[in-house]
Amino acid sequence: MAKRAPTVDIDESKVRHSGTKKVAVGVPAVLHALQIANDQMGVGRSIQTLLRVNQKDGFDCPGCAWPEEDKRHIAEFCENGAKAVAEEATLRRVGADFFAAHSLAELQLHDDWWLGQQGRLTEPMILDEGAAHYRPISWDDALGEIASALRALDDPDEAVFYTSGRTSNEAAFLYQLLVRGLGTNNLPDCSNMCHESSGSALTETIGIGKGTVSIEDVHEADLLIVAGQNPGTNHPRMLSALEKAKRNGATIIAVNPLPEAGLMRFENPQTVRGVAFGGTKLADQFVQIRLGGDQALFQAIGKHLLEVESRDGGVLDHAFIAEHTSGFEAYSQAIAQTSWSELVAATGVPEKTLRRVGEAVRTSKATIVCWAMGLTQHKHSVAMLRDVVNALLLQGNIGRRGAGLCPVRGHSNVQGDRTVGIYEKPSVRFLDALDREFAFQAPREHGYDTVQAIRAMRDGSVRFFMGMGGNFVSATPDTEVVEAAMRNVDLTVQVSTKLNRSHVVAGTRAIILPTLGRTDRDSRGGKEQRVSVEDSMGAVHSSRGRLAPPSEELLSEVAIVARLCALVFGTVPESVDGSVRPVAVGTGIRDLEAIDRAQVERSPREETATPQVPAPEHPLNVPQADWAALEADYALIRAHIQNVVPGFDDYEKRIDKGGTLFLPNGPRDARTFATVDGRARFTVNVLEYPRIPRGRLLLQTLRSHDQYNTTIYGKDDRYRGIRGGRRVVLVNAKDIQALGFAEDEIVDLVSEWTGPDGVVQERRAEEFRVVAYRTPRGNAAAYYPETNVLVPLDSVADVSGTPTSKSVVVRLEHRE
């Protein structure tokens, strides 16, 4: 029997620290996953659901994007995957009665855990201007309100359309078509906040914004460097792949400011060895690097390789460098001028340790570097990742078996959304193909990314916001600024499965559109529909939910967007030349009300006359498609994707019966590089790393183990030994003493950032418990979204614009 939703928030006075773990997963992980599944779904539903996760005839886990092998285990899910499924397939419900009982003001007082634990949304809701409560609204009226709001815009750039990574390829493709049909590229997404730095660096250096490895490459690597990543919590199924690599003889080096249990020892609960014989030691070496020092580490690797090559030879792949790369001479000269003393200062790691890592790379037959947010959320992240590429190019570790670049994406299908067009800076090639397919002209001017969208909302330049999944308010930096920005918008629309903070921090008016999740059966057009997703390694496969939806009122994301397209791009009979005339929003947007009035005001005798409508200022220009047909058959959407996006040949056939469509990858498949000069590019990057002022700490925001992005599953971080709460700050014991504080003291965190005007800005997060933890001196860590308030909106990575959530200068303050 599933448990009822909690009635109170987390009691942070009960938080405690019981010591860190040195082993991950095992039987405790299984028991914890089953407990949460039972609490949310009950025993029978848990069994029915979990056995379909990541199966070829089942549904894709709504958690991370780590790929599956072709041969599947009967239990093809991890602890946090089970939690994600349980949260979505919960028996708890949030309907009209809930919103009648809880005012908006009351809901705003609850924490993110409480909001998320209330259950699945079951019917469309609207918050009227000045109202204290949401009220029910029909689908037709809700979508009509949205279409009317879009028609009322003076300019399409007054609208922003956000996308979460869980959105399917089909829904994402329609969504970007809707937005571009309106006349804007304002398509910020969660990639802007996580792997945008990876995409920027990789596109520049190897010509594709994705990694270059397959799951088989991971298994066959000789050396794996896992940097800035905690797979035990964020991608637990990756541990199985690392274990297989280890069994095949691989060396694994973990690079992280915090020791993470998942990279120490892995007790695989699906094997006898994992359950009964202590599991597998994964990391051969743990390099405890200072926050932001990873660029120096990879420069040190390059410097070691070049020095040994100069002395002994036989290190570099000269044939690869000559045939496939450019910029080698400039890079080697720059690295030669970088001193070991500065590399040591930047990393906080002794020279002998840096050389030991370099020697492991030198002797490796095939090296893979894996990374996540620890490398992408610094001001110098793009330069840092260019130096990762440099280190691998020296030995030709791109485009051969067991070697390459492996950015580990977070959300399931965040990479697929970008592939099918969710991007504020689309390529001309993509737009040209879209134009041909839908007989219109998409806008070419770049749109807002996530940070730019927040600035525009803050400044009053945006009147409409729509979120396709996700929790924009809690996911983004500078919480107080974001909340004020959202309240500054005329209408906010959230397409969601569950209640979250973005529903309670809303615009002047707000609409909630409840949608089907991955686990839900999607019956439409007289048959069960399937969607498709792309994993972290460019493999596309289908996903089909099997559970009865929590309400008959729910629509799929595809249906929601298709119906909006039909309303926005509907046709007006009796155009001047006798053909149907599409209604435009975005170009000719000011004329819509006149068109509507002309239709309504005609007398019966004028039924065949041409309506007297003022000519629009611009030609009507919208995509041409049968929206009802696309809603009824998702295969038709996939056919459009096949025609627009390269690599989707035989899309339908290749994902049939659990098949996988592997998207082309030039660097991996043929050592071809779509860069400016057609070669993989060595780059020269000035060494950067954070300088921490005296008396301050450098803070990274991170997840707890009972969390996935902004979704809080529970109150514990089992591997780090945190129990019963989340408002803790992890600080080196020597720093606690040196700064004049005591362990378990409750403090305020105050971030300090110098803006472009030279003025120091401060932001405050109150009441955090100080926990002594094994961090590098001068570094600290705390959980988001609670500490997102400390991340300045304008503190972003060069080139990519990603918020610098891993390098926030803070001071601790005693509370009175």
CATH of the domain at 762: 2.40.40.20
Is residue 493 within 8 A of residue 564, CB to CB? The reply is no
Pairing of strands 325-326, 680-681: parallel
Same domain, 186 and 229: no
pTM: 0.92
* Whole-number Å distance between alpha carbons of 272 and 265: 15
The angle formed by the CA atoms of residues 233, 535 and 181, to the nearest 5 degrees, is 120
Among 42, 69, 88, residue at a domain's last position: 88
3-state SS class at 111: coil
Residue type, 191: S
CA distances from 94 to 98, 712, 796 (A): 6, 17, 37
Single out the residue of 471, 525, 530, 523 nearest to residue 496, CA to CA: 471
3-state SS class at 115: helix
* Whole-number Å distance between alpha carbons of 612 and 601: 10
For residue 612, is it within any domain? no
Measured over the CA atoms of residue 185, residue 190, residue 196 and residue 198, the dihedral's sign is: negative
Q: Give me 551's structure tokens.
A: 């309400």
Same domain, 276 and 396: yes
- Cβ burial of 333 (10 Å; 0-12, 13-18, 19+) is exposed
pLDDT for the residue 623: 96
Q: Residue 543 belongs to a domain with what CATH number? A: 3.40.50.740
Is residue 520 within 8 A of residue 554, CB to CB? The reply is yes
Same domain, 400 and 466: no
For residue 581, is it within any domain? no
Same domain, 389 and 421: no
Measured over the CA atoms of residue 766, residue 772, residue 774 and residue 777, the dihedral's sign is: positive
CA distances from 603 to 595, 598, 609, 722 (A): 15, 10, 10, 72
Q: Give me 297's structure tokens.
A: 């580490």
Is residue 130 within 8 A of residue 507, CB to CB? The reply is no
Same domain, 54 and 122: no
Is residue 447 within 8 A of residue 184, CB to CB? The reply is yes
Write the CB contacts of 81 (distance below 8 Å, at least 6 apart in sequence): 53, 54, 61, 63, 64, 236, 237
Is residue 209 within 8 A of residue 216, CB to CB? The reply is no
pLDDT for the residue 30: 75
Beta bridge partners of 701: 782
Our count of domains for the chain comes to 4
Pairing of strands 251-255, 746-754: unpaired
For residue 743, is it within any domain? yes
Same domain, 174 and 251: no
pLDDT for the residue 606: 31
Same domain, 423 and 310: no
For residue 597, is it within any domain? no
Question: Quick check: bond before 269 cis, omega within 30?
Answer: no
Single out the residue of 197, 723, 175 nearest to residue 470, CA to CA: 175
The angle formed by the CA atoms of residues 410, 416 and 421, to the nearest 5 degrees, is 125
pLDDT for the residue 82: 83
For residue 744, is it within any domain? yes
pLDDT for the residue 214: 96
Q: Render 427-443 in DSSP notation, one character per residue.
A: -HHHHHHHHHHHTS---
706: which DSSP letter?
Answer: T
* Whole-number Å distance between alpha carbons of 161 and 182: 11
Same domain, 339 and 285: yes
Among 681, 707, 728, residue at a domain's last position: 681
Same domain, 328 and 280: yes
| Helical packing angle, 634-644 and 169-182, nearest 10° | 70
Is residue 641 within 8 A of residue 169, CB to CB? The reply is yes
pLDDT for the residue 580: 35
Single out the residue of 443, 428, 584 nearest to residue 157, CA to CA: 443
Question: pLDDT under 70 in the chain at which residues?
Answer: 1, 272-277, 571-620
User: What is the gyration radius of the CA atoms in the chain, in angstroms?
Assistant: 26
Same domain, 639 and 502: yes
For residue 620, is it within any domain? no
Single out the residue of 709, 727, 788 nearest to residue 116, CA to CA: 709
Same domain, 358 and 230: yes
Structural domain boundaries enclosing 37: 12-88
Among 55, 88, 121, residue at a domain's last position: 88
3-state SS class at 157: helix
For residue 594, is it within any domain? no
Is residue 31 within 8 A of residue 718, CB to CB? The reply is no
Same domain, 404 and 318: yes
For residue 203, is it within any domain? yes
Length of the chain: 816
pLDDT for the residue 274: 67
